[in-house]
Amino acid sequence: MTDDESKSPSEIKSQPDVKIYSLSTCSHCKSAKKFLGECTIKYEFVDVDLLEGDERKAIIDDVKKFNPRCSFPTVIIGDKVIVGYKEKEIKEALGLE
Amino acid sequence: MNAQQLYDMMKKVQEAKGYYFNEDRERVFDLLESLILNKQRYGYMGCPCRLLSGDRAKDRDIICPCVYSVPDIAEFGSCYCNLYVSKEWNEGKMPRDYVPERRPPEKMPF
């Protein structure tokens, strides 16, 4: 039995975890969310501009760990970090190419 | 001011300088709405594609049109947000590459 055969269908099709650090006002962030939605990819996102106080500081520190320039969107796909809305890189990281 | 009024005003000012709104009208109006929202939130029209500090003095370089839009349009044909572009960019005469962040990290107040 191969690894895949031992897994349930949902496990075989499982996608890497996807998280977007975004701004609610940013055109590239909106494009990235729209694209993932169209690809029926599940993702989490946090609109950093809508956060306040300590929560905002903590999330900014998180973003900087992945992307020291703290620009948006910062897209995390599994262990890959994609800075900006780069459709080709996002597709590759998701194995859609 | 609504987005249409902002559009009409900035079109006149920016086209005189050789900068044009992206031909993608939906994207442009979405960005203009965000600029108006930022004006309401912070008191100035900070870049919608960057995290604003809420301090006008610290964000002076990223009040739209930002100081980086000039070199970005010269090099890439578009500002960071794809709001203002060159005529050639709109006409598809140059590649529409993703515009990287030009703002120096030391300018970021975070």
pLDDT tens by residue, chain B, 110 residues: 899 999 999 999 999 999 999 999 999 999 999 999 999 999 999 999 999 999 999 999 999 999 999 999 999 999 999 999 999 999 999 999 999 999 998 998 88
* Close Cβ partners of B94 (under 8 Å, ≥ 6 residues apart): B77, B86, B88
Quote the pLDDT of residue B7.
98
Whether the predicted interface score ipTM is above 0.90: yes
First to last CA, chain A: 27
Question: Cβ A27–B82 below 8 Å, yes or no?
Answer: yes
Residue of A nearest to B96 (CA): A86
Say if the Cβ atoms of A27 and B49 lie within 8 Å.
yes
Confidence of residue A69 (pLDDT cuts 50, 70, 90): very high
Mean pLDDT of A30-43: 96
Q: Compute the nearest-CA separation of A17 from chain B (Å).
A: 24
- CB-count exposure of residue A87 (10 Å: 0-12, 13-18, 19+): middle
Which residues 59-78 on chain A approach chain B with CB closer than 8 angstroms? 60, 64, 68-72
Q: Coil, strand, or helix at residue A44?
A: strand
Which residues numbered 17-46 in B keep a CB inside 8 Å of some CB on A?
A: 27, 30-31, 34, 37-38
pTM of the model: 0.90
The overall longest dimension of chain B from CA atoms, in Å, is 39
Classify B20 in phi/psi space as left (phi over 0), alpha (psi -120 to 50) or beta: beta
Average pLDDT estimate for A1-7: 50
pLDDT(A85) > 70: yes
Identity at A74, one-letter amino acid code: T
Confidence tier at A1 by pLDDT (50, 70, 90): very low
What is the residue-averaged pLDDT of chain A?
A: 90
Is residue A13 over pLDDT 80? no
Q: Quick check: B31 and A27 CB within 8 A?
A: yes
**CA B30, CA A44: separation in Å to the nearest integer?**
22
For range A4-18, the mean pLDDT: 65
